Chains A and B, each alone.
Chain A
Amino acid sequence: MSEETTTAEEALLAEPARPLPENPVLRALFEGYETVGWESSLGQDVAHVPNESWAEFAHAVRGAGFEVCVDVTAVDWMRERPERFEIVANLLSMEHILRLRMTTTAGRIDPSVASLVPVWPGANFAEREAYDMFGVRFEGHPDLTRILMPDDWEGHPLRKDFGVGSVPVQFKESHQVT
């Protein structure tokens, strides 16, 4: 009896319980992927996915009933984190009335991640916007071009090292401009 409890305790000590969501749909999804971390961010389910299994996990998420890709965007953690870019995809399941946020990271030099367009065609414009604004490449995207800025624009505006800039205002009859 006592031996059994010790083995159980040892097992607990050896493998700290990985936090898993309570929702059965999400739980089944996360149990299949050891490397994907789950977090509850202010009550919202977030999946932290390694960059290399981004597309694979996306397929699994789609299979679990998340049929809508609501949004794809990025965050530039220039000084705060070693992996500079965080790519965020917001997913929605109309079937289960459930949301899931998938995040992954990309490094400083030539940041890239697999495209979600083969999984959700609706990710197209959103990924183009993220590429345009952050310079994160989405590998396998059919039409990865700038979308909001003109093609000959230099730089990616929403990066933290992209200056806000200003145009000096010149007032009429100001004594500085004669």
Chain B
Amino acid sequence: MSEPTIESAQITEVLDVWVAGTEEPEFSPTDEGEQEISDHESAARLDEQFGRVVEDDYVFDDGVDEGERMILNMGPQHPSTHGVLRLQIELEGEIIRRTKPIIGYLHTGMEKTGEQLSFSQGGTNVTRMDYLAPFHNELAYSLAVERLLGIEVPPRAAAIRVLLTELNRCSSHLVALATNGMDIGAVSMMIYGFREREQILAFFEKTTGLRMNHNFIRPGGVAADLAPGWKDDVAAILVELPRRIQQYDDLLKDNPIWLARTRGVGVISSEEAIEYGITGPPLRATGVSWDLRKAFPYSGIENYEFEVAVGERGDVYDRYRVRVDEIHESLKIVEQVMDLMPKGDYRVDDRKVTPPPRARIDESMEALIHHFKLFTEGFKVPPGETYVAVESPRGELGCYLVSDGEARPYRIHTRAPSFANLQALPIAMADSLMADTVATIASMDPVMGDVDR
């Protein structure tokens, strides 16, 4: 009983809080130091920040009046940076000379966490990365695990996956349109976009139990079958959404204010997009017809007919149009999936991967053992490494998975589309007006959860 003195000493250390009136403790903020923009940068860094690595569209002369130059900090707490994106912008009067995105404020070490979770738990982790497109994260992860396991999911599971991911693309693009509208000043667009998204999220909730972060697509299939009456819900979405999108077009498509704010703003050329590894709508808006659903089809998406939406100019307006067109194309896929939904099992019939049905546990000793082992240890995955990518609403979402034969991944890495697309902000923003900054950021549609992971 001589211990308590040591214990109480430890506790006072833990409860070491500052009391008003006493001496203030030293404040130690985190330091971004080298990551920040500076007045004295190397030539290579300047090229990067001026966005002239690929194409030299830099129009300024260096003999700028120093009084006109200003480094402006924007974010990380800024409502139009879509989370915690921080930009440092060097301005010359009202014109942006160079930009540097500083990220990491939402970094929660999800790849490290993924190494601690078993393969069956991993879905809960990856679904939180890109929180606007959780099904795509789950799909990329599940496809990677299934490739390592060498299993093929039943046709119904594949069809459910396509149905959910394509609806998820619609809901994600609706948020993109909504926030894009709000950032430029079309506040009613924000209300409309979120309103229609709600209908899709209600369907997700009915199917998976959750509005976001579903963990519904799992290695080996999906967690449950579609809820009874799902066809009516999907049919209602298919009727309602095109009608609403027509309203958005009436509101924005030929609106002179919208055109003035988006036409020729934040232009990215196709060469720049390819060099910087930009994928998704920002790439297609430049006129490159590249879609992983066509190039490397996954989950049986090659069985459905759809077009790849492309733009021409690579500006904010084209990115907006590509997203609207993609919603229409996704709805086409959803309609086909709804009509062609195969019957059968919704998960693979492999007791080493999928837990047995609840009813079997009461009857069979083996089923009980399998259930217990799957939820305590998890299933083991043969050693190997693989990279699987799906077309998320933001571009190529890849999962690089390394297994060393244990029940936990040795390394799980997500190739985040927002992360790569964010590199293009300096090239999109250089030589544009400060007032267009927000429009450009919104049109790239970065999700900071996906960027920082």
Interface residues of A (CB under 8 A from B): 41-42, 44, 67-71, 73, 75-76, 80, 88, 90, 94, 97, 99, 101, 120-126, 129, 133, 142-143, 145-153, 157-158, 162, 164, 168, 170, 177
Contacts and interface: CB of A to CB of B under 8 A. Distances in A.
Contact of A90 (B54, B278, B415): B415
A75 B410 contact: yes
Given A42-B148, A75-B410, A121-B275, A150 B48 contact: no
A66 B150 CA distance: 28
B306 interface: no
Contacts of A143: 44-45, 48
Given A80-B404, A120-B275, A121-B276, A142 B45 contact: yes
Interface centre among A75, A80, A99, A150 (most CB of B within 10 A): A150
B290 A94 contact: yes
A139 B249 CA distance: 49
Interface in B202-247: none
Interface centre among B111, B295, B385 (most CB of A within 10 A): B385
B112 interface: yes
Interface of B: 11, 14, 30-35, 42, 44-45, 47-48, 53-54, 103-104, 107, 109, 111-112, 116, 147-148, 150, 274-278, 288, 290, 295-296, 384-387, 389, 396, 398, 400, 402, 404, 410-411, 413, 415, 419-420, 422-423, 452-453
A9 B172 CA distance: 62
Contacts of B148: 42
The 10 closest A-B CB pairs, nearest first, are A122-B277, A142-B44, A150-B30, A151-B33, A148-B104, A145-B34, A71-B415, A122-B276, A148-B107, A152-B31
B411 A177 contact: no
Given A90-B400, A158-B411, 5 more contacts: A71-B420, A75-B411, A142-B44, A145-B35, A150-B31
Contacts of A44: 386-387
Contacts of B53: 121
Contact of B35 (A42, A124, A146): A146
B76 to A, nearest CB: 12
